[in-house]
Amino acid sequence: MHIREWPVAERPREKLAAHGSQSLSDAELLAVLFGTGTAGQDVMSWARSILQQAGGLAELLSMPATQLRTLHGVGMARCMQIQVILELSRRYLASTLKLGKGFTNPQLVRDYLATKLRHQDREVFALLLLDNQHRLLHYEELFFGTINAAPVYPREIVKLVLERNAAAIILAHNHPSGVAEPSQADKRVTERIQEALRTIDVAVLDHFVIGAGETVSFAERGLL
C-alpha cells in the first residue's frame, strides 16, 4: 500500500504537522526528510530498511561517506544529506555549550561528545576548554592512538589550557571497542592530569568515556 493510501493520521508528514517532530519514529523522520523511496520500495519501507542495515539511527548518522554509499538507495545526494544532519547537530550542541547551557543540562555535553567521538575507529582523547562561567571556549582533539589506546601527555594539556586561558576543562575519549567502562589506565591518566592542572588552579570537572551506545561520566561514578 502506498503512503497516500494510509489513514491520514498515520502518514509521517501529517503526523508531523499535527503533533510535532517528537511524535515521529526514527524511520518516519527519515521518510519526511527524504520524501521518496527507491524502486520497489515506498519511502517508509526504505527508511526502515536503511536503519536496519546501519544498526540504528546513531550508527547511520555517524557512518563515513564510503560506508553510507554501500546502503541500498543511498546515493551521493542522500549521503550528503545525512552528513549535513550530523554536522548541524554538532554545531547546534556546540553553540548551546558556548552559551553556558550545558551545565544546566548535562545530557547536552554527552550528546555533543558522542557526535564528535563515537564514530572514530581509533582512540581519540579530547578536551572541552571552559571559561570561568563554564561556557565552552574550545573543543580540541589532542591525542590519537590505535584501536586500544592513545598516548596522553599532561604537559601538552597544561600548555593548551594556558594558551586558551581556560578556567576548567572536561576530558573525553572514546573506546572503539564499544565498551564504555573506564579502564585502570583511564583512571591513572585522569589523576595525572588533575595533579598537573592543580598547580595552575584549573579544575577537571569530568571525564567522559564514549562507547557504542553508552557514555560513562567519571563525576557520576565518584571517580574525580
127-131, Cβ contacts within 8 angstroms, sequence gap of 24 or more: 127/157, 127/160, 127/169, 127/170, 127/171, 127/172, 128/97, 128/169, 128/170, 128/172, 129/160, 129/161, 129/164, 129/166, 129/169, 130/166, 130/167, 130/168, 130/169, 130/170, 130/205, 131/165, 131/166, 131/167
Q: Which amino acid is at 80?
A: M
* pLDDT of the residue at 107: 82
What is the DSSP-derived secondary structure letter of residue 4? G
What was the pLDDT predicted at 90? 84
pLDDT at 98: 82
Looking at residue 202, its pLDDT comes to 97
Hey, what CATH class is 101-221 in?
alpha beta
User: Using CA atoms, how far apart are residues 212 and 177, in angstroms rounded to an integer?
Assistant: 8
Q: What is the pTM of this model?
A: 0.72
Written as nine digits, the cell of 102 is 550545558
Domain spans, the chain: 3-88, 101-221
> Residue 49: its pLDDT value, please?
92
Q: Encode the chain (224 residues) as per-residue pLDDT tens digits.
A: 567 777 777 788 899 998 999 999 999 999 999 988 888 788 898 999 999 998 888 888 878 888 899 998 899 999 999 989 888 988 888 888 888 766 666 788 888 898 889 888 899 999 999 999 889 999 999 999 876 678 899 999 999 999 999 999 999 999 988 889 999 999 999 999 999 999 999 999 999 999 987 899 999 999 98
90, with CB counted inside 10 A (0-12, 13-18, 19+), is middle
According to DSSP, the residues that pair with 136 across neighbouring strands are 130
